Structure 1
């Protein structure tokens, strides 16, 4: 009888996973219809016809809003487990209520730090959405514009 070590089990799982993936992709390639049309070959831009190049100006405030969103999502990730543990009456009874007081103070400190961060971002004006005026580029390329027509 052959005995498989822990590394052998991991190797078998890796081989099985890769084999499953390859078989699934092969079955999909064999079964899917192959009817390309010019409409299917175009770039998808949220239902709109693509126009211009991809080098358009992008408002940097999108990134700031995304970072602030992630900050408050992280807050929720930490507050949900706290709420479930804080609501456990048996745990609070075992510690004579000290656990509840400690966790409540700790959570207020955590939320307070986040509110200080929010106040800082607000005071710096990072939450105000000001539309920037588009600026044209004065860059002169050495490549003629007709050369780009091949790539459209």
Structure 2
């Protein structure tokens, strides 16, 4: 599909196919699932393991776990960027400029870890 509206037509076809797959999956689910309106009395409690739930349904997580997860993602992304850089660095024509760019990238991340360390975020107490 060429022309000005060709890309819009392609997008429309992809969206229509997505909606069709979505509707088809939910229709198949509705047709194939077992229908048992007389379900056992304990089916809709929070846990079906035979033990009654104790306490409320509100549990508050501490923010430090989210900080650890954020720091992990930050350094995992750094590792993802370091591998392609190491491959390109060896090619001819890439020299000092590529090394300087990666040094700046690693320096910014090092500042982030230094900040987290100085704020005592990395202590597990």
TM-score by length of 1: 0.61
Aligned residue number for residue 69 of structure 1:
72
In the alignment, which residue of structure 2 is the partner of 1:105? Answer: 100
The one of the two structures with greater contact order (alpha-carbon pairs below 8 A, sep at least 6) is: 1
- Secondary structure of the residue that 1:114 maps to in structure 2? helix
Distance 1:54 1:79 in 2: 43
Higher gyration radius (CA)? 1
CA distance in 1, matches of 2:88, 2:117: 32
Backbone CA RMSD of aligned residues: 2.6
How many residue pairs get aligned? The number is: 115
Deviating more after overlay: 54-63 vs 18-27: 54-63
Give 1:13's aligned residue.
14
**Partners of 1:79 and 1:55 in 2: CA distance:** 41
Runs of at least 5 residues in structure 2 that lack an aligned partner in the other structure: none
- TM-score, L = length of structure 2: 0.71
Runs of 4+ in 1 over 4 A off after TM superposition: 35-40
Flag structure 1 segments of 5+ consecutive residues without an equivalent.
131-152
Q: 1:80 aligned to 2:94?
A: no
